[in-house]
Every structure is written in structure tokens, then in C-alpha cells.
């Protein structure tokens, strides 16, 4: 049975899209890492709790297939702020978040980082 569970998780990982805009924060990449950790021995991996494994798989399938989005359709495709899904994706992209983080820094700190030979982490030590 471990072999069939392993194959099902592999199939799910293949179908799950990877978002290139969310480097190191992507659910698809995280899922692939967790499956690789859980099934270190591949099809021969012993599964201590098969019921929990099956529940996890079913939950991930519901997320992947937008089960609840389809079950409970929304009246509008925007949030209460009026932001669309595409706007949210753009805002949450790693490059944009990094730019926003840079803007949060004060002018003095930005100038010091720009002209300093040391890295900012070394100043804290």
C-alpha cells in the first residue's frame, strides 16, 4: 500500500504548479520537499499512520482542485478592499516584497548600507 500512496503523492506533486514569482515561499515547492522527506525510501517507505497519510492526501487534493472555491462560489472576484486576485499575486511576488522592504528602511540606513564596506549583519555583532 505504501507504493500506491507514494505514487499518488508523486502524481499530485507533478500536477501542482510552481509559482516562479514566489521564490522560497511557494506551496508547490514546499509540498515537493515534504513528500521527499516523508518518502525517503520511495515506494518502500514504511508509513506509521496510513489513515493520517490518506487524510493529508485528500486535503491536498481538495486544495489543488479548488473544491471549496467551486462549492461556495463568490459573488464578486474582488476582496472587500477592491483588490483583484491578479493584483494580489503581483503584490505578493518576491521582487515586489523585496522592493517594499527596501522602502521601509530609513534614508540614513540605506545610505550607510550603500557606502559601507561591511554587511549590515556584521554591524549587529
Q: Is the pTM of this model over 0.85?
A: no
- Which domain covers residue 3, as residue numbers? 1-73
- Say whether both 42 and 31 belong to one domain: yes
Residue 123 maps to a domain: no
pLDDT band at 20 (very low <50, low <70, confident <90, very high): confident
Residue 125 maps to a domain: no
- Say whether both 16 and 4 belong to one domain: yes
Predicted local distance difference test score (pLDDT) of residue 124: 57
Residue 116 pLDDT > 90: no
Cα 81 to Cα 19, 76, 84: the distances in Å are 24, 12, 9
Cα separation, 103 vs 114, in Å, equals 14
- Say whether both 24 and 82 belong to one domain: no
- Say whether both 27 and 50 belong to one domain: yes
Domain count, the chain: 2
pLDDT band at 94 (very low <50, low <70, confident <90, very high): low
Instruction: For residue 15, give every residue at least 6 positions away whose Cβ sits within 8 Å of its Cβ, in sequence order, or none.
Output: 64
- Say whether both 34 and 92 belong to one domain: no
pLDDT band at 123 (very low <50, low <70, confident <90, very high): low
Predicted local distance difference test score (pLDDT) of residue 58: 96
- Say whether both 103 and 55 belong to one domain: no
Amino acid at each position: 500500500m505504501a507504493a500506491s500512496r507514494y505514487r499518488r503523492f508523486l502524481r499530485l506533486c507533478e500536477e501542482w504548479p510552481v509559482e516562479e514569482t514566489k521564490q522560497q515561499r511557494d506551496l508547490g515547492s514546499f509540498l515537493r520537499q515534504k513528500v521527499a522527506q516523508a518518502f525517503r525510501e520511495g515506494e518502500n517507505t514504511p508509513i506509521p499512520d496510513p489513515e493520517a497519510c490518506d487524510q493529508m492526501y485528500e486535503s491536498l487534493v481538495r486544495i489543488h482542485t479548488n473544491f471549496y472555491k467551486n462549492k461556495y462560489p463568490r459573488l464578486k472576484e474582488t476582496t472587500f478592499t477592491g483588490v483583484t486576485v491578479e493584483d494580489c499575486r503581483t503584490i505578493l511576488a518576491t521582487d515586489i516584497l523585496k522592493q517594499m522592504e527596501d522602502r521601509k528602511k530609513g534614508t540614513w540606513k540605506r545610505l550607510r548600507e550603500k557606502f559601507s564596506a561591511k554587511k549590515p549583519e556584521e554591524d549587529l555583532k
